[in-house]
Amino acid sequence: MVRVRFAPSPTGLLHIGNARMAVFNWLFAKRHQGIFILRIEDTDVARSEKKYMTQLIEDLHWLGLTWQEGPDVGGQYGPYLQSERLHIYNDICQNFLKEELAYPCYCTPEQLEERRQLARLSGKPPRYDNRCRNLTDTQKKTFESSGTNFTIRFKVPDELIVFDDLIRGKCQFDMKLTGDFVIMRSDGTPSFHFAVAVDDTMMQITHVIRGEDHLSNTPCHILLFNALNQKPPQFAHLSLTMGADRTLLSKRHGASSISEYRKLGYLPEAILNYMMLLGWMPKDKNEKFKVNDIIDTFEISSMSKASSTFDQQKLDWLSGQYIREADIERLTSIAIPYLQSAGFISTDEAKIDKTKLKLIIDAVRGNISCLSQIVHESEIFFKDVVISEKHVEFLSSETSQSILSAFYMELKKQNNLSPDIFREILKTVQKETRVNGKGLYMPIRVALTGREHGPELYSVANILGINTCKTRIERFL
Ligand code: GLU
């Protein structure tokens, strides 16, 4: 049975780069009918915050991800919060000490730093020189009785660690170059390496799918798996995602946290689809897909070794596609809070004209990539339009005037403006003025909306209604 985990540290908001790791773990579990586990790596007490954990669970759920084991749903290998597993790490560490796989190190942080500096100056790798590995019992006793703080270090054997990464193929690391690393900090909390290896062992993880930034940690984890008498899981190190400037994707590149995208009114399925395109592509090269369409053909080995580049325009394009085909009721309920905050509609839902609102949303959905943009796009329906000087000039030209007058004369003959009536009117105006295409539309569009772009003119006219259309045209005659 495949068992994979997403193991975030709750030290900030879940961003695209990190959420992508969750997505591919989840997808891999789905592909192999396995178990997807959420484990929270919160042993860094100073940086971890409960609010980030709550938020990331909410964000993952919003994206549509579900897990079978995790801090919120439990499971037989829990607890799934590392901060609640300290006794487990401690017990295992005691065993390591007994078996002489590990030893206490009394070097102070200042001493270690000084030695690192010296090593750097003499061009040597700044690794720990293993000096506490061979302390005599008397030396240990002296340190102990003087109350010196100590860490516990793992004895790194001089081995060549070789493993087959599912994406990157054969990887090898010469452990001669690695100093004995800390498994327990002096405050009794486990190091990252130790907690990961212990948990992956105890949670029976079969595949570790994580970012390439962890590749150099993997040999240390393999040594720990060996010490724990556990066959190491298989590894897949995913390439990372860069911003357009080729640096690792981060906040600097704009909205990058899932909750920000949510606040901006992106649809979760669009974000999910886009994240799957970072470093992967379905066989049919069709970039827009539903998860269910691709599960059966998803092969982790086909993921790219090269880093991917985050492309906001592409995300917007994809998101726009999803908005165009989304259920109008759903879009309306997501759009309402934005329109309420803009003061365009009543804060009392019962007072909102939903029929009209749906027409508006349907008219503008073709021009937006997230629902917060609805405020700008739909302003023409809720507020009187402001016409710029440039447009006043444009509307005063002879051609514009003849179009607007002919249009106005036709409007006066009607008492409603259905799309069909609007089309008929335009035909008449075209015949009378002999102007067609953009030349015909633009003066009417600018007079009605104050803008050169926007929804189809017939739906604008239909939504505004005949009286508003008349008033908006009259001003320029
Ligand atoms: N807590 C680690 C991180 O957020 C995860 C490490 C792992 O997946 O093994 O990068």
Q: What is the percent of the chain where pLDDT is above 70?
A: 100
Residue nearest to atom 10 of ligand 1 (CA): 8
Q: How far apart are CA 151 and CA 145, in angstroms?
A: 16
Q: How far apart are CA 170 and CA 5, in angstroms?
A: 23
CA 39 to centroid of ligand 1, rounded, Å:
9
Question: Taking Cα atoms as reference points, which of 208, 238, 317 lies closest to residue 16?
Answer: 238
Mean pLDDT of 344-360: 95
Mean pLDDT of 60-65: 98
Report DSSP letters for 314-332, one per residue. HHHHHHHHHHHHS-HHHHH
Residue 247: pLDDT over 70: yes
| Residue 182 DSSP one-character state | E
3-71+241-309 belongs to which homologous superfamily? HUPs (3.40.50.620)
Which backbone phi and psi does 327 adopt, to 5 degrees?
-65, 130
Of 13, 214, 216, best ligand 1 pocket probe by most atoms within 8 Å of the beta carbon? 214
| Pair 323, 267: CB distance under 8 Å | yes
Fold of 389-474: Arc Repressor Mutant, subunit A (1.10.10)
CATH number for the domain formed by residue range(s) 326-382: 1.10.8
Of 4, 5, 6, 9, best ligand 1 pocket probe by most atoms within 8 Å of the beta carbon? 9
Residues framing ligand 1 (Cβ under 6 A): 7-9, 41, 196, 210, 214
Domain 85-238 part of CATH 3.40.50.620: yes
Q: What is the pLDDT of residues 153-165, one digit of tens each?
A: 999 999 999 999 9
Judging by DSSP bridges, how do beta strands 3-6 and 35-38 pair with one another?
parallel
Q: How far apart are CA 335 and CA 446, in angstroms?
A: 25
Band (pLDDT 50/70/90 cuts) for residue 254 is: low
| Pair 411, 469: CB distance under 8 Å | yes
Q: What is the pLDDT of residues 78-123, one digit of tens each?
A: 999 999 999 999 999 999 999 999 999 999 999 999 999 998 898 8
Residue 250: pLDDT over 80: no
Task: State residue 256's pLDDT score.
Answer: 80
- Apex 266 CA angle, 63 and 208, nearest 5: 30
Q: Whole-prediction pTM value?
A: 0.92
Place of tokens 């990961």: 196
Q: What is the pLDDT of residues 303-313, one digit of tens each?
A: 999 999 999 99
CA 340 to centroid of ligand 1, rounded, Å:
40
Atom nearest to 210 CA in ligand 1? 8
What is the SS3 assignment for 33-73?
CCEEEECECCCCCCCCCHHHHHHHHHHHHHHCCCCCEECCC
Same fold, 85-238 and 389-474: no
Task: State residue 165's pLDDT score.
Answer: 98
Q: What is the percent of the chain where pLDDT is above 90?
A: 91
CA 231 to centroid of ligand 1, rounded, Å:
20
Task: State residue 151's pLDDT score.
Answer: 97
Place of tokens 């660690």: 161
Task: State residue 430's pLDDT score.
Answer: 95
Task: State residue 244's pLDDT score.
Answer: 83
CA 116 to centroid of ligand 1, rounded, Å:
26
Q: Which of 141, 231, 251, 383 is catalytic?
A: 251
Q: Domain extents for the chain?
A: 3-71+241-309, 85-238, 326-382, 389-474
Residue 229: pLDDT over 80: yes
Residue nearest to atom 6 of ligand 1 (CA): 7
Atom nearest to 192 CA in ligand 1? 1
Mean pLDDT of 36-47: 94
Residue 177: pLDDT over 90: no
What are residue 4's DSSP bridge partners?
36, 207
CA 81 to centroid of ligand 1, rounded, Å:
13
Residue nearest to atom 4 of ligand 1 (CA): 8
CA 12 to centroid of ligand 1, rounded, Å:
13
Mean pLDDT of 447-472: 95
Of 18, 41, 81, best ligand 1 pocket probe by most atoms within 8 Å of the beta carbon? 41
Report DSSP letters for 391-417, one per residue. HHHHHHSHHHHHHHHHHHHHHHT-S--
Task: State residue 148's pLDDT score.
Answer: 86
Counts of helices then strands in the chain (DSSP H, E)? 19, 11
CA 165 to centroid of ligand 1, rounded, Å:
17
Question: What's the chain's average pLDDT?
Answer: 95
Atom nearest to 18 CA in ligand 1? 4
Task: State residue 255's pLDDT score.
Answer: 63
Give catalytic status of residue 170 as yes or no.
no
Band (pLDDT 50/70/90 cuts) for residue 248 is: confident
- Longest CA–CA separation in the chain, Å: 108
